[in-house]
Structure 1
Amino acid sequence: MSTGSVANMVDDLRRQIDAGDLGADERIPSTRVLMETYALSDNAVYRGIALLKAESYVYSRQGKGVFVRDRRALIAGARRIQGITQAGEHIEWRHSIRTDAPSWVAEHLGVGECVERARTVRRGDLVLQASRSWVHLDVTTDVPELDEPRPCDPTWQAVYTERSGNPVQAASKVVDARLASAEDCEALGLAPDTYAVMIMRSVYVTGDRVIGVGETVYAPGHPVDLKVS
């Protein structure tokens, strides 16, 4: 197939992975093969692979190639985290600043500088969850509110879609548990070495570009309600 389209390459690989034609930890075709198959430049292939990585479809092994990720832990598409707050809870915005993204975020966004937004959800004095999002600076052209520590009504993704005409999709949401970092402990008021449930690598895309990444950390004992919509 010779299409010259990054989107077609990405769609084909997604379909093969979703159908099981490419299984977990199986190597996908090499860059050269993908270039020849889809009539793409090497840079175009790299962009497509970066998008598949952002969606948690594939991962790299240095010097060995790109492989299919085991997606059993992936919460994607119709499955999502429902509801930010419940009765008696409120959102407290901590900051909205331009800064250098963490390395794992910069890998998704393809740039270092971005807008970092942070908030917590509280019930009285108890912090239930802490969230951070990192948004590509290009988005601020259409959504200048991102530079202010307040919510975008209804969300920055919806505002960007309406103003730019480019739909934004949540490409992936991965649920995991890990030992809370020093930043987690500070935000949630936890003692060191406390385990926290976190929603990480919430990746937002428009077309074949990643424009936002989010991370939410839940305090121990706070329910994480996963439902199929």
Structure 2
Amino acid sequence: MSTGTVADMVDDLRQQIDSGALKVDEKLPSTRVLMETYGLSNNAVYRGVALLKAQGYTYSRQGAGVFVRDRRAMIGGARRIKGITQPGESIHWRYSVRTQAPDWVAEYLGEGECVERARTVRRGELILQASRSWVHIDVAAVVPEIDEPRPVDPESTWQAVYAERSGVPVRVVSVSVGSRLATEDDREALSLGEGACSVTLMWNVYAADERVIGVGEAVYPSDQRVELKIS
């Protein structure tokens, strides 16, 4: 295949990752191979790989290359609303409490009380993800189970249950990814060791009838520890 465009290279690699042709933690072809395969310059290949990283499809190991990231971080839309666990994974609930919306959450839900829910997703003893969601207090009138630290339905999510009971579809209106140094809560939830380390994040915004009813933050262990030098 030789299209000569970065977009086609990125689309093709994303399809291979989504289909499983390129598996989680598998190394991407070298820059030279990608240049020859897609008819691109080395700078164009670098741009394409950087875009895949920004979209959460790949990650780098210093001196080793670029590898396929676990795609659970990019599950979206209806699949995320229906539930995100995969075979062999289990959800462990941490808490569900009424709290004042943090400033950044209040920008979406409005100021005042909301329901904060926290959980981890595991495969055996391995913690794959720690997530928190902030749900508009009005949702509790339709789905009172959100006040309890457990699934609102064994096979579904609060978003799907709300949509079923209210008759109003819930959709993901925004997905963004980023990274930060691990906080104390991140460290506890993900069982991270001592020392500074970074985590990968994904934020989701859920809406019903053009009104935001929930915000979610998923945190994933990054593959590389970082050292802080203070001068």
Q: TM-score range by the shorter chain?
A: 0.5 to 0.7
Q: Aligned letter for 2:212?
A: V
TM-score of the aligned structures, taking structure 2 as reference length: 0.57
Q: Residue 220 of structure 1 corresponds to which residue in structure 2?
A: 222
Query: Quick check: 1:198–1:216 contact (8 Å CA) kept in 2?
Result: yes
Deviations 1:139-186 (CA, angstroms, capped at 9, x unpaired): 011101111111123111111111112221110110112221221111
Q: Aligned letter for 1:171?
A: V
C-alpha separation between the residues in 2 aligned to 1:157 and 1:145? 12
Q: Aligned letter for 1:168?
A: V
Q: Residue 171 of structure 1 corresponds to which residue in structure 2?
A: 173
C-alpha separation between the residues in 2 aligned to 1:119 and 1:158? 18
The alignment partner of 1:219 has SS state of strand
Deviation of residue 74 (structure 1)?
A: 7.5
Query: Quick check: 2:95–2:118 contact (8 Å CA) kept in 1?
Result: yes
Query: Quick check: 1:101–1:113 contact (8 Å CA) kept in 2?
Result: yes
C-alpha separation between the residues in 2 aligned to 1:158 and 1:87? 20
C-alpha separation between the residues in 1 aligned to 2:173 and 2:75? 11
Instruction: Check 1:147–1:173 CA distance in 2 against 1; reply closer, same or farther (3 A cut).
Output: same
TM-score of the aligned structures, taking structure 1 as reference length: 0.58
Q: Residue 96 of structure 2 corresponds to which residue in structure 1?
A: 96
Query: Quick check: 2:93–2:150 contact (8 Å CA) kept in 1?
Result: yes
Deviation of residue 125 (structure 1)?
A: 3.0
Paired residues for 1:139-218 under 5 Å: 139-153=139-153, 154-190=156-192, 191-200=194-203, 202-218=204-220
Deviation of residue 208 (structure 1)?
A: 2.5
Larger radius of gyration: 2
Structure 2 unaligned residues grouped into runs of 5+ = 1-53, 57-73, 225-231
C-alpha separation between the residues in 2 aligned to 1:192 and 1:185? 10
Deviations 1:51-77 (CA, angstroms, capped at 9, x unpaired): xxxxxxxxxxxxxxxxxxxxxx689xx
Query: Quick check: 1:74–1:172 contact (8 Å CA) kept in 2?
Result: no
Deviations 1:86-137 (CA, angstroms, capped at 9, x unpaired): 4433110111111112210111101221011100012333322100000001
Asked whether 1:111 is paired with 2:114, we answer no
Count of residue pairs brought into register by the alignment: 146
The alignment partner of 2:104 has SS state of helix
The percent identity for this pair of structures is 60
Query: Quick check: 1:129–1:218 contact (8 Å CA) kept in 2?
Result: yes
Instruction: Check 1:192–1:135 CA distance in 2 against 1; reply closer, same or farther (3 A cut).
Output: farther
- Give the structure, 1 or 2, with the largest relative contact order (CA under 8 Å, sep 6 or more): 1
Instruction: Check 1:103–1:131 CA distance in 2 against 1; reply closer, same or farther (3 A cut).
Output: same
Instruction: Check 1:98–1:192 CA distance in 2 against 1; reply closer, same or farther (3 A cut).
Output: farther
Deviation of residue 210 (structure 1)?
A: 0.9
